[in-house]
Amino acid sequence: MKAFTIGVDYGTNSVRAVVIDCADGREVGAHVFNYPSGHQGILLDPSDHNLARQNPADYVQGLEETVVGALTAAEASGEFKRDAVIGIGVDTTGSTPIPVNGDCVPLGMTEAFKDNLNAQAWLWKDHTAADEANTITKLGFEHRPHFLAKCGETYSSEWFWSKIWHCLNVDKPVFDAAHSWLECADYVPAVLAGITNPAEVVRGVCAAGHKALYCDEWGGLPDKEFLTMLDPALADLRDRLFEKAYDGATPAGGLCTAWASKLGLSEGIPITVGAIDAHLGAVGAGVQPGVLVKIMGTSTCDCTVAPNSETLKDIPGICGIVDGSILPGHFGLEAGQSAVGDIFKWFVETVCQGDDALHMALTNEAARQKPGQSGLLALDWNNGNRCLLVDPKLTGLLLGQTLYTTQAEIYRALIEATAFGARAIIERYKEYGVPVDRIICCGGIAEKNPMLMQIYADVTGCKMQVSASDQTCALGSALSAAVIAGPEKGGYGSFVEAQQHMTGVKDVEYTPDAVHQAAYDELYTLYMNVHDAFGGVTDAADLSGVMKALISLKDRQNS
Amino acid sequence: MKAFTIGVDYGTNSVRAVVIDCADGREVGAHVFNYPSGHQGILLDPSDHNLARQNPADYVQGLEETVVGALTAAEASGEFKRDAVIGIGVDTTGSTPIPVNGDCVPLGMTEAFKDNLNAQAWLWKDHTAADEANTITKLGFEHRPHFLAKCGETYSSEWFWSKIWHCLNVDKPVFDAAHSWLECADYVPAVLAGITNPAEVVRGVCAAGHKALYCDEWGGLPDKEFLTMLDPALADLRDRLFEKAYDGATPAGGLCTAWASKLGLSEGIPITVGAIDAHLGAVGAGVQPGVLVKIMGTSTCDCTVAPNSETLKDIPGICGIVDGSILPGHFGLEAGQSAVGDIFKWFVETVCQGDDALHMALTNEAARQKPGQSGLLALDWNNGNRCLLVDPKLTGLLLGQTLYTTQAEIYRALIEATAFGARAIIERYKEYGVPVDRIICCGGIAEKNPMLMQIYADVTGCKMQVSASDQTCALGSALSAAVIAGPEKGGYGSFVEAQQHMTGVKDVEYTPDAVHQAAYDELYTLYMNVHDAFGGVTDAADLSGVMKALISLKDRQNS
């Protein structure tokens, strides 16, 4: 009998559910639900543009609507029945912590707090906790440097402890009313499993490790002594959080009676431990040792895995290294660039006042240029630098302009800048013993822009492939569910085995061109020179030859 | 009886003559002649975009047509008669050397060479002699550092010796046929004076000093030993050039019979020694010690004067310091920025694909911004750096971009960059004891863009004024003729006296705003930091704080 799993993927503006055939990863039904609250699903505060919250009720409503919708669509295909569903996987944005009461109900869904923004889900891109993040970084640097070493040396305002502490600082009633806090990735599986006691919620190591400073090495969450330095109330809260977090090999529970009935699925089928979307996206794209998965959109998230061994050192400037966060038995490594597609969009739409047609025209024109032919060099920091410098207070830079520099040349230079940023991350991985031989990309840019893909191949020296699925996060969740369900139910005995059957890449692939690589090696050296100078890696930079070196390469490429 | 003088101003594409009332500098007649040869008056070589020559016959034809046209126009005014003309002044582009035969006839006007590009006038912007210029700089640095100290440490491909040597290297027949070489500024007065022996041509110290390494201090032109290092043929040529060059106090001759007849003017009226357009433009704008005249167009030329004393040291990075080149009895100092209007034009027309309407819209929007509010900082090197770095192989730079940076913000940052470049020159002048208290601007930008003028005032801390005349070069030539003619003929006894009567500024003026100045002081420090790093002033630059400092100022200006 055929077996199917469901993947539920919570994004920033909507949630999507898919029904996946375990045999080959094919999607047989899907449904999307746009969060109804706020602006495009986000609760905003006009007086504070850093604030971004979500209504947790939207998550619950979206869960039912999308799963039912996807099942209905699958049934319409004629080859699917609901009793063939053997498990459900969930991925969400993160860190998106939610304050809950003692019954595991989000405070934002209670009468007392339903209109209080601080009682809702604190969406990943909420930046209200910048001060708290700075203090955590400062105190971490002084007292617990090993905490920071695992998360790129800087604790972010987007993460768990910053947000909870900020809540304590600005809205003590909400903090006091919160019996515990759940990551969205842990909350949704708990809903499906019918768990009503926060202490019984199975917490995923992905969000815990990457966002909450959780590590088995130092006994789980940060110790009370450290938390007391932040605020004694946080040390108290630690007792009501969790002792242990789990990787994807552990189920979060079985589907509860109520939700089995709502969805028309078998009671008790396993629910996966939830994980952050990009990480399960990497699974759905086929991540394995030596393979970097790049999820390319407005920004990028770069995930890879390394065998779980004692030899892996901390890697400075990499956002996170967490045992089991992507694949059980492997360290999950997450890096990323804070702006990629957003930079091209800014240039075309804001600087050139153009639209998609201009994107296309500039792409075509830029595709005819050789590496270095424009004499331009850019830094890809229009939205700060997430890795390796981990510094939001950096900005873009373009140099090499003459009186003849064209739009298409600048467009290409900006693409190249993001490729150099990608290479910087890859080189750092390699330097610390994590191999990267091949890159699998997901996202619209990868599918729509062969020029960009070839530039990335030439700059990084890696073969570039495109994930076969365009919904790798949802697929990764469904795949995870197939592993949790196990081979006896029609699933798989391991992630590797499941990936072999359920994931793939498109036929087209991009291999490095040796001649282009040589030119890009020159440009990359100049990029890193400027990168280190403005990024604060050095306070004695020699940039005196940069412009001349660019002109020299330009002259050679034009001759 | 009223007295008038004629100013003839040879530009790149056309020549203009004006008839000026000596009493008040008022223009009573004018006529423009577009050079008929080549593309907009320039002879080009499709296979070598560095080549730019001119047909010397155009100069002669234009001389007659414009002077006659201006006189006719002046007569039409009813208040002028030709016998009231007491002198003629001439300014031209430079360095624009012309090979002439033993009869002072340009080789390009002889049958044998009329179709040979190398026998024509070598227009100032001809860049074919880049290799020769580099070698002259290199040999000068090794053997005659005092030569280079007077011309900003770098000998240009645009200048006299580079071009003549290049002619020798690429077209020996032309070089051999040239009895001598005349700057265009010396050729035209010689024509009017009827001089047919090259040895009798009165050479102007302006072109000689700024372009041909002439200085009384080392005995005139470069010594034969040095010229022999370049090529012995150049040492031989030295004997057929000139021993002595003269400032504006010396006449080039009197109007000859033939030209007096052609023009309907009195025979024997004095002809001034010719000078380079920008220098006589400075005179016509009212240059004096403490006053910097900026001729602002696609690029700028910044001229000032310092009393002729022993205390003035060489000023590194300033294009030229020549005794008497602007005003007799003063050192003439010339500096400049290689792109100003050209950068704004590039941004609007090439990057934004806009037109004059966009220039206007961006100006209006940028005018509402405060200094530093955009967080942007730019270098004004899209066409290299003429002063202080004297390096054509430098390029533009823009930093501080976010995902929200607008066209108008970039537009303003580029204007500010040119203002910082202007300030760098002024600070260098001051550092070496040359005061700059006030700036008089000429050119369309100064008249059309009050925002730019206010930014320049705020950045430089100098009062900014606009020349009353919009033809200061032609006016300066006419003024020069009034001084040569002398008070007994209705002219003046000195340049200062003539300037008091014949030049002036418009009513509008721009004074520095102390609050803006303070913000620009911060930005200027950052500009010089980046300037010195990329300009090669330092090989150990600390740029680690630049982006954060820009963000800090931006935050303050936005709060």
A326 in a structural domain = no
Alpha-carbon gap, residue B107 to B99, rounded angstroms: 6
Closest chain B residue by Cα to residue A408: B351
A60 in a structural domain = yes
A325 in a structural domain = no
Q: What is the mean pLDDT of chain A?
A: 95
Q: Is B375 on the interface with A (CB under 8 A)?
A: yes
pLDDT confidence band for A131 (50 / 70 / 90): very high
With CB atoms and an 8 Å threshold, state whether B539 touches A538: no
Q: Is A462 on the interface with B (CB under 8 A)?
A: no
A310 in a structural domain = no
Q: Is B242 on the interface with A (CB under 8 A)?
A: no
DSSP A288: B
Alpha-carbon gap, residue A128 to A116, rounded angstroms: 15
The domain containing residue A209 runs over which residues?
Answer: 4-273
B129 in a structural domain = yes
pLDDT confidence band for A278 (50 / 70 / 90): very high
Alpha-carbon gap, residue B374 to A218, rounded angstroms: 45
With CB atoms and an 8 Å threshold, state whether A402 touches B395: yes
pLDDT confidence band for A151 (50 / 70 / 90): confident
For CA atoms B120, B121, B127, B133, the dihedral sign is: positive
Q: Would the pLDDT of A235 be above 90? A: yes
DSSP A492: -
3-state secondary structure A516-555: HHHHHHHHHHHHHHHHHHHHCCCCCECCCCHHHHHHHHHH
Asked if omega into A475 is within 30° of 0 (cis), the reply is no
**Separation in Å, CA B105 to CA B42, B178, B454, B552:** 20, 10, 49, 65
The SS3 assignment for A377 reads strand
Q: What's the confidence (pLDDT) of residue A316?
A: 86
Q: What's the confidence (pLDDT) of residue A391?
A: 85
Q: Are A84 and A207 in a shared domain?
A: yes
CA A344 to chain B, closest CA, distance in angstroms equals 9
Q: Which amino acid is at A233?
A: A
Residue of B50, B337, B345, B351 for testing the chain A interface, max A β-carbons within 10 Å: B351
With CB atoms and an 8 Å threshold, state whether A395 touches B402: yes
pLDDT in tens, A74-122: 999 888 999 999 999 999 999 999 999 999 999 999 999 999 999 999 9
Domain CATH for A379: 3.30.420.40
pLDDT in tens, A193-217: 999 999 999 999 999 999 999 999 9
Q: Are A292 and A254 in a shared domain?
A: no
Per the CB < 8 A criterion, the answer to whether A305 and A331 are in contact is: yes
Residue of A401, A404, A529, A558 for testing the chain B interface, max B β-carbons within 10 Å: A401
Q: Are B341 and B265 in a shared domain?
A: no
pLDDT confidence band for A342 (50 / 70 / 90): very high
Alpha-carbon gap, residue B29 to A97, rounded angstroms: 81
Name residues whose C-beta falls within 8 Å of residue A346's C-beta, 6 or more positions apart in sequence.
A382, B401, B403, B404, B405
Of A382, A533, A539, the CB nearest to B402: A382
Q: Are A349 and A229 in a shared domain?
A: no
A263 in a structural domain = yes
Q: Are B268 and B344 in a shared domain?
A: no
Q: Are A269 and A343 in a shared domain?
A: no
Q: What's the confidence (pLDDT) of residue A411?
A: 98
Residue of B544, B552, B554 for testing the chain A interface, max A β-carbons within 10 Å: B544
Burial of A559 (0-12, 13-18, 19+ CB in 10 A): exposed
Of B394, B407, B550, the CB nearest to A351: B407
Q: Are A384 and A258 in a shared domain?
A: no
A260 in a structural domain = yes
Burial of A78 (0-12, 13-18, 19+ CB in 10 A): exposed
Q: Are B54 and B176 in a shared domain?
A: yes
Alpha-carbon gap, residue B495 to B472, rounded angstroms: 15
pLDDT in tens, A299-323: 999 999 998 776 778 888 887 889 9
Q: What's the confidence (pLDDT) of residue A154?
A: 85
Number of structural domains, chain A? 2
Q: Is B543 on the interface with A (CB under 8 A)?
A: yes
With CB atoms and an 8 Å threshold, state whether B401 touches A398: yes
A477 in a structural domain = no
Interface predicted TM-score of the whole assembly (ipTM), two decimals: 0.90
Q: Is A549 on the interface with B (CB under 8 A)?
A: no
Q: What's the confidence (pLDDT) of residue A309?
A: 74
Chain position carrying tokens 């066209």: B407
Alpha-carbon gap, residue B55 to B62, rounded angstroms: 11
pLDDT in tens, A492-522: 999 999 999 999 999 999 999 999 999 999 9
Of B401, B541, B544, the CB nearest to A536: B544
* Residue B357, number of CB atoms within 10 A of its CB: 9
Q: Are A54 and A192 in a shared domain?
A: yes
DSSP A313: P
Q: Is B352 on the interface with A (CB under 8 A)?
A: yes
Q: Would the pLDDT of A473 be above 90? A: yes
Per-residue pLDDT of chain B (559 residues), as tens digits, is 799 999 999 999 999 999 999 999 999 999 999 999 999 999 999 988 889 999 999 999 999 999 999 999 999 988 899 999 999 999 999 999 999 999 999 999 999 999 999 999 999 999 999 999 999 999 999 999 999 988 878 899 999 999 999 999 999 999 999 999 999 999 999 999 999 999 999 999 999 999 999 999 999 999 999 999 999 999 999 999 999 999 999 999 999 999 999 999 999 999 999 999 999 999 999 999 999 999 998 899 999 999 877 677 888 888 788 999 999 999 999 999 989 999 999 999 999 999 999 999 999 999 999 999 999 999 999 999 989 998 888 999 999 999 999 999 999 999 999 999 999 999 999 999 999 999 999 988 888 899 999 999 999 999 999 999 999 999 999 999 999 999 999 999 999 999 999 999 999 999 999 999 999 999 999 999 999 999 999 999 999 999 999 999 999 999 8
Q: Are A268 and A363 in a shared domain?
A: no
Pairing label, strands A436-442, A463-467: parallel
Q: Would the pLDDT of A36 be above 90? A: yes
Q: Would the pLDDT of A545 be above 90? A: yes
- DSSP-assigned beta bridge partners for residue B9: B16, B91
Q: Are B507 and B443 in a shared domain?
A: yes
Q: Would the pLDDT of A354 be above 90? A: yes
Reading phi first (left if > 0) and then psi (alpha if -120 to 50, else beta), residue A322 is in beta
User: Which chain B residues touch A543 with a CB distance below 8 Å?
Assistant: 533-534, 541, 543
User: Percentage of residues in chain A with pLDDT exceeding 90?
Assistant: 90
Q: Would the pLDDT of A7 be above 90? A: yes
Q: What's the confidence (pLDDT) of residue A307?
A: 87
Per the CB < 8 A criterion, the answer to whether A189 and A273 are in contact is: yes
Q: Are A233 and A290 in a shared domain?
A: no
**Separation in Å, CA B61 to CA B31, B117, B367:** 13, 19, 46
Alpha-carbon gap, residue A377 to A549, rounded angstroms: 11
**Separation in Å, CA B236 to CA B101, B179, B230, B231:** 16, 11, 12, 9
Closest chain B residue by Cα to residue A299: B403
Of the two residues A14 and B319, the one the predictor is more confident about is A14
Q: What's the confidence (pLDDT) of residue A69?
A: 98
